[in-house]
């Protein structure tokens, strides 16, 4: 089976019911998407499929029809995405485990909405759990990234 | 007071040391530097915290677990401040497992003393408990103790390395040490020429530090005392593979475990026929340990990928044995209730004469209430996991742990190899909250590694396994009684708190050969040690015999005692028609630090302003882990339920080394506490935990998160911790706000069982 991940076609040798998350982590070696719950309840595994934020723990690879983007694919690791810059500037991460998913959710939000309100942020981000309670910093960083994007 | 404390001290010490006598020899010995055995080409070490290479790379080793609380920033800053290196230029590594990294502050705080008790006796007890931490070599992250432990130790390490480098520079240049200066990893000679630390490191590493070295006064600090960017923010914002679950080794297998959902129960039989037909499954093994072990029976499925292992554990047919505790929540709470009724507890506070005070109390002057809380899971975002490889008599363990030296000794025992051939590679932790101070997940990895013929194996628990096999915050029931004087103030308070003993449960898993005796201070933490002066004041902790695995959960006993004590004081104030803050200020008259945070938060929250229609505020205060925390929470009634609108918090921690990190820790503790109030509850049926994932055991979400305004005060005489103290007052502040809004007094957790919250 061929998956398009971060702009590259990769060969995945797995049972078709394997969730995308495990194909990415165990077979493609992409550790950015995290395992949190396995039932699409926490958002730690969030990736984009054709730009839409999806819970990779709950999509079988046989059902993946579009291009997959993980956090490894939103920047080259040096010149960071504006969301990542805002995350660092606002010192969002505490334990950091949920942040890949939070960032992927926030990137998708800003793609669709260049200046989200508090309600928009609630709507887009409430599926992403953070046990450290970094929500105020996430909110601030999203708003900050929106201004960075405008400047860029 | 002296008499009871002396007695509890002796027993309390025995509870942890198992009666091991220790002398001056053990207290004075120093552990060898663990870095010396493992230096790369060109690397030099000065002490367990500093490595410098010839190309001038300075690495600071952080002895504690990074689980979001910022130790890889603030502990590194303690070294960097004295060493004279820029935070932006250093490398930070998590230290290996070694007794050299013992934590002496955590046990000091375990002495049965209120934080504000600074008598000579109290000081002797604290220092004795500190000594114990050193002797046991406890490299543990917990009890909000990292800064208290590291404050002198890590600055001394930085200072000693700096002065040794200067000594080497002096020997090389012939210039007296007194004329040398240091700046950003360089020694500066009087003529302005510089020698980098890298150039000097090899020679310096052979020297003993000069004997008359002096640390800098705080007034000369360049790094400490103000916010420093977190050293881990980049890795955590780019999805870097830094967690235990991200460990990836050549030829690595994947495994998952399924232990008896009746916790600690044995396994009667299992049939893996169907499971073995699943593609990718390598083996199914029996995980049942020896009879004296507390983990119970179970199986592990070893596979070529995680998904196959997950499918496998659900395909194995298992017949489980019974649980060693009552099968239902009602039955379990019944045991706790019986213990409470027995009244057979330890009084860590017993001021005045409570019996006498109530003997002739007029009925209308007595307030009585019973409170209760449920079991709670930690539910760290990263489920429990560890990776192990057992090959040629050497065991390697990769895991995120709050207790690496215990992981090392337990896993060595598990695999039958020597401790010196066991290597623990600590990763970052995707949440700890006390759960990762346990060793089950690491031991299970070592156990599975015995069956993989030398191949590394990553053992990942499903979320369901994680949530149903936690070491829970115990349930508890408590009785409260107050007698009011003619001004409505409490002249007597009697609190009895019954709960299973966390210390006993942890000891039985971690040190099964030692049997804990005497009082468990954690039962009454947050109740016996509060800065209120009440003439007759008794707090009793009663152990309830329930054999469900329980453990340290962010703020431990404070998490429920904050709720009990502060909700009850709110009831007293309501009964007396006193303003809850005014009443507390009167009771706190002997503790200016407490008064300071209460006044501060009252002003932040505009407490005295007129009540707004549809909104109400509640107040609570808890002193825990040496941090004095007052909170006001404002709630509103919406069509979709009660919404938490605002949290104001004033916390006095004494000197704050990084106020930004302290603030986010307090914030994190508040969200953690409020999450439990909004709907968390672990219940049992048929001996099994009924909540299995975030759909049935959730936490606060972005749309529920209130505005939070937090002020860090630095007036307290003694340094406090930051990781836990935000949690205890958050729950009663919310309960008290709900009472102010609705008139409903909620005496059991979660509060969501009695009101609907905005979700």
Mutation choice for B interface testing from A86, A88, A97 by most B CBs within 10 A: A97
Provide the 8-state DSSP code for B690: S
What is the nearest CA distance from A123 to chain B, expressed in angstroms? 7
Among the partner-chain residues A91, A97, A138, the one whose CB lies closest to the CB of B382 is: A97
User: Is the preceding omega at residue B750 within 30 degrees of 0, hence cis?
Assistant: yes
Residues 6+ apart with CB under 8 A from B100: B31, B32, B33, B34, B48, B137
Instruction: Report CB contact under 8 Å: A37, B693.
Output: yes
Rounded CA gap, B143 and B723, in Å? Answer: 8
Query: What is the phi/psi pair of residue A100, to 5°?
Result: -60, -45
DSSP code, position B376: B
B534 neighbors B372 (Cβ within 8 angstroms): no
What's the Cα-to-Cα distance from B352 to each of B37, B166, B168, B278, rounded to whole Å?
Answer: 58, 59, 63, 69
A152 confidence band (pLDDT: 50, 70, 90): low
Confidence tier at B137 by pLDDT (50, 70, 90): confident
Q: How far is CA B669 from the centre of its chain?
A: 11
Q: Look at residues B408, B413, B461 and name the one whose alpha carbon lies nearest to residue B140.
A: B408
| pTM attached to this predicted model | 0.96
Q: Would you call B430 an interface residue with chain A, using a CB distance cutoff of 8 Å?
A: yes
Contacts of A25 by beta carbon, 8 Å cutoff, 6+ apart? A31, A33, A35, B306
Residue B639 burial class via C-beta count within 10 angstroms: exposed 0-12, middle 13-18, buried 19 and up:
exposed
* pLDDT on residue B4: 31
Q: Which of B226, B378, B381, B691 to mutate to test the interface with A (most CBs of A within 10 A)?
A: B381
| Contacts for B608 with CB less than 8 Å, ≥ 6 apart | B602
Chain A CB within 8 Å of residue B640 CB: no
- Per-residue pLDDT band for B13 (boundaries 50, 70, 90) equals very low
Query: CA B220 → CA B22, B83, B157, B387, B521, distances in Å?
Result: 39, 13, 17, 44, 39
A16 contact B CB<8A: no
Strands B91-94 and A46-49: unpaired
Question: Which value, in Å, is the radius of gyration of the alpha carbons in chain A?
Answer: 15
Predicted pLDDT of residue A151 = 65
3-state secondary structure B426-464: ECECCCCCCHHHCCHHHHHHHHHHCCCCCCCEEEECCHH
For domain A82-151, which CATH number applies: 3.40.50.300, 1.10.150.120, 2.40.30.20, 1.10.3210.10?
1.10.150.120
Best B315, B462, B692, B702 member to test A by mutation, with max A CBs in 10 Å, is: B702
Q: Which of B234, B246, B705 sits opposite A135 (nearest CB)?
A: B705
What pLDDT score was predicted for residue B19? 34
CB contact under 8 A, B307 and A42: no
Could you say which residues from 43 to 72 on chain A have a Cβ atom under 8 Å away from some Cβ of chain B? 44, 70-72
Is the pLDDT at B5 greater than 50, yes or no? no
Task: Answer whether A132 touches B (CB < 8 Å).
Answer: yes
Specify the pLDDT at position B29.
67
Does A91 contact B233 at a Cβ distance shorter than 8 Å?
yes
Pairing of strands B91-94, B58-62: parallel
Burial code (b: 16+ CB inside 10 Å, e: under 16) for A10-48 equals bebebbeebbbbbbbbbbbebbbbbbbbbebbbbbbbbb
Number of C-beta neighbours around residue A149 at 10 A: 16
Name all contacts of B98-101 with Cβ < 8 Å and 24+ positions apart: B98/B31, B98/B34, B98/B48, B98/B137, B98/B139, B98/B405, B99/B31, B99/B137, B99/B139, B99/B405, B100/B31, B100/B32, B100/B33, B100/B34, B100/B48, B100/B137, B101/B34, B101/B48, B101/B63, B101/B64, B101/B139, B101/B405
What integer is the mean pLDDT of B50-62? Answer: 97
The set of residues, in sequence order, having a beta carbon less than 8 Å from that of B701 and lying 6+ positions away, is A126, A127, A129, A135, B759
Burial class (CB in 10 A: 0-12, 13-18, 19+), B150: buried
CB contact A32 to B (< 8 Å): yes
Q: What is the pLDDT of residues B241-263, one digit of tens each?
A: 999 999 999 999 999 999 999 99
pLDDT digits (tens, 9 = 90+) for A3-19: 999 999 999 999 999 99
Q: What gap in Å lies between CA B323 and CA B684, rounded to an integer?
A: 11
pLDDT digits 0-9 by tens, B157-192: 999 999 999 999 999 999 999 999 999 999 999 999
DSSP character at residue A104: H
Other CB atoms within 10 A of residue B211 CB: 6
When CB atoms are compared, the residue of A18, A41, A126 closest to B694 is A41
Angle in degrees, CA B80, B432, B96, rounded to 5: 50
Q: Which residue of A has its CA nearest to B385?
A: A35
Report pLDDT for B121: 87
- Tens digit of each residue's pLDDT (9 = 90 or more) over A94-105: 999 999 999 999
Report the pLDDT value the prediction gives residue B445, as an integer from 0 to 100: 98
Chain B: residue whose CA lies nearest to A86 = B237
- pLDDT of B635 strictly over 90: yes
Residue B757's pLDDT band, with cuts at 50, 70 and 90, is: very high
To the nearest 5 percent, what fractions of chain B are helix, strand and coil? 35, 25, 40
- Give A127's contacts in chain B (Cβ within 8 Å): 701
Q: Which residues pair with B644 in a beta bridge?
A: B635
Contact (CB, 8 A) for B419 and B395: no
Q: Which domains does chain B have, with CATH numbers?
A: 31-103+138-237 (3.30.365.10), 244-323+384-460 (3.30.365.10), 329-376+472-753 (3.30.365.10)
Tell me how crowded residue A122 is: count the other CB atoms within 10 A of its CB. Answer: 17
Give yes or no for A41 touching B (CB within 8 A): yes
**Which residue does chain B place closest to A135, by CA atoms?**
B702
Determine contact, residues B59/B91, Cβ cutoff 8 Å.
yes
Residue ranges of domains in chain A: 2-73, 82-151
Mean residue pLDDT of chain B comes to: 94
Provide the pLDDT for residue B128: 79
Q: Are the C-beta atoms of residues B62 and B141 closer than 8 Å to each other?
A: no
Q: How far is CA A152 from the centre of its chain?
A: 22
What residues of chain A lie within 8 A of the CB of B430, using their CB?
34, 95-98
pLDDT at B210 over 50: yes
Is the ipTM of this structure higher than 0.85? yes
Instruction: Convert the pLDDT of each residue in B670-685 to its tens digit.
Output: 999 999 999 999 999 9
Substitution target in A55, A71, A80, A94 with the highest count of B β-carbons within 10 Å is A94
CATH superfamily of A2-73: Beta-grasp domain (3.10.20.30)
- Chain A positions touching B239 (Cβ under 8 A) are 31-33, 70-72, 99-100, 103
B279/A15 CB distance under 8 A: yes
**Would you say residue B85 has pLDDT above 50?**
yes
């Amino acid at each position: 089976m061929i998956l398009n991940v971060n702009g590259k076609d990769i060969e995945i040798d797995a049972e078709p019911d394997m969730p995308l998350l495990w194909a990415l982590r165990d077979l493609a070696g992409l550790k950015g998407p995290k395992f949190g719950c396995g039932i699409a309840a926490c958002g730690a595994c969030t990736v984009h499929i054709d730009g839409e934020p999806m819970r990779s723990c709950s999509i079988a690879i046989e059902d993946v029809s579009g291009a997959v983007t993980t956090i490894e694919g939103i920047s080259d690791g040096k010149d960071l995405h504006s969301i990542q810059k805002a995350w660092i500037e606002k010192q969002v991460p505490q334990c950091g485990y949920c942040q890949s998913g939070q960032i992927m959710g926030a990137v998708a939000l800003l793609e669709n909405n260049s200046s989200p309100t508090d309600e928009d942020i609630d709507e887009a981000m409430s599926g992403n759990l953070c046990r450290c309670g970094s929500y105020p910093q996430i909110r601030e960083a999203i708003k900050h990234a929106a201004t960075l994007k405008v400047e860029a | 007071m002296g008499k009871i404390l002396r007695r509890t001290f002796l027993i309390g010490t025995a509870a942890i040391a198992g009666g091991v006598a220790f002398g001056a020899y053990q207290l004075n010995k120093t552990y060898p530097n663990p870095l010396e055995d493992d230096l790369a080409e060109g690397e030099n070490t000065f002490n367990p915290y500093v490595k410098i290479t010839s190309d001038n790379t300075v690495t600071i080793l952080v002895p504690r677990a990074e689980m979001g609380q910022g130790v890889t920033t603030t502990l590194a800053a303690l070294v960097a401040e004295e060493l004279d290196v820029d935070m932006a230029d250093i490398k930070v590594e998590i230290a290996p497992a070694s007794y050299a990294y013992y934590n002496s502050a955590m046990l000091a705080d375990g002495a049965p003393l209120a934080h504000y008790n600074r008598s000579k006796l109290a000081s002797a007890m604290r220092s004795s408990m500190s000594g114990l931490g050193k002797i046991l070599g406890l490299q543990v992250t917990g009890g909000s103790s990292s800064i208290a432990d590291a404050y002198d130790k890590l600055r001394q390490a930085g200072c000693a390395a700096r002065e040794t480098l200067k000594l080497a520079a002096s020997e090389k240049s012939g210039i007296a040490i007194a004329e040398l200066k240091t700046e950003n990893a360089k020694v500066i000679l009087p003529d302005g020429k510089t020698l980098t630390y890298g150039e000097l490191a090899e020679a310096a590493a052979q020297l003993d530090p000069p004997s008359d070295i002096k640390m800098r006064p705080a007034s000369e600090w360049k790094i400490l005392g103000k916010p420093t960017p977190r050293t881990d923010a980049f890795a955590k914002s780019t999805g870097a593979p830094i967690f235990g679950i991200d460990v990836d080794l050549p030829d690595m297998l994947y495994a998952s475990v399924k232990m008896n959902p009746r916790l600690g129960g044995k396994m009667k039989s299992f049939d893996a026929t169907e499971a073995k037909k699943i593609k990718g499954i390598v083996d199914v093994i029996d995980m049942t340990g020896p009879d004296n072990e507390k983990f119970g029976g179970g199986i592990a499925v070893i596979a070529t990928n995680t998904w196959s292992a997950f499918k496998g554990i659900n395909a194995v047919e298992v017949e489980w044995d019974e649980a060693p505790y009552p099968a239902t929540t009602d039955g379990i709470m019944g045991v706790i209730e019986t213990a409470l009724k027995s009244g057979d507890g330890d009084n860590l506070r017993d001021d005045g004469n409570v019996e006498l005070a109530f003997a002739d109390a007029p009925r209308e002057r007595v307030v009585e209430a019973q409170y209760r809380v449920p079991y709670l899971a930690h539910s760290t975002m990263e489920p429990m996991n560890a990776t192990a490889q057992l090959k040629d008599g050497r065991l390697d363990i990769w895991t995120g742990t709050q207790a690496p030296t215990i992981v090392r000794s337990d896993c060595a025992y598990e695999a039958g190899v020597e401790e010196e051939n066991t290597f623990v590679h600590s990763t970052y932790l995707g949440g700890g909250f006390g759960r990762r101070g346990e060793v089950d997940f690491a031991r299970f990895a070592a156990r599975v590694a015995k069956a993989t013929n030398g191949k590394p194996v990553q053992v990942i628990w499903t979320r369901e396994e994680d949530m149903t096999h936690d070491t829970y915050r115990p349930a508890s029931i408590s009785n409260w009684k107050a007698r009011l004087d003619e001004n409505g103030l409490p002249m007597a308070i009697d609190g009895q708190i019954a709960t299973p003993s966390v210390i006993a449960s942890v000891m039985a898993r971690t040190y099964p050969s030692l049997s804990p005796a005497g009082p468990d201070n954690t039962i009454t933490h947050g109740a016996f040690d509060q800065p209120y002066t009440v003439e007759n004041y008794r707090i009793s902790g009663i152990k309830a015999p329930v054999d469900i695995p329980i453990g340290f959960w962010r703020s431990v006993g404070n998490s429920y005692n904050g709720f009990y004590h502060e909700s009850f004081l709110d009831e007293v104030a309501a009964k007396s028609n006193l303003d809850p803050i005014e009443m507390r200020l009167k009771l706190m008259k002997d503790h200016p630090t407490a008064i300071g945070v209460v006044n501060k938060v009252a002003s932040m929250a505009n407490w005295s302003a007129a009540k707004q229609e549809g909104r109400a505020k509640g107040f609570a205060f808890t002193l825990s882990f040496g941090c004095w925390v007052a909170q006001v929470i404002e709630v509103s009634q919406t069509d979709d339920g009660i919404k938490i609108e605002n949290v104001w918090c004033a916390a006095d921690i004494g000197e704050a080394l990084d106020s930004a990190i302290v603030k986010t820790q307090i914030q994190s503790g508040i969200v953690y506490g409020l999450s439990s109030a909004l709907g968390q509850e672990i219940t049992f049926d048929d001996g099994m935990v009924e909540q299995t994932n975030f759909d049935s055991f959730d936490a606060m979400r972005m749309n529920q998160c209130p505005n939070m305004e937090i002020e860090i005060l630095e007036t307290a005489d003694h340094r406090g911790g930051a990781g836990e103290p935000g949690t205890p007052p958050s729950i009663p502040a919310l309960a008290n706000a709900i009472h102010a809004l609705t008139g409903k007094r909620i005496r059991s957790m979660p509060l969501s069982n009695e009101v609907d919250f905005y979700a």
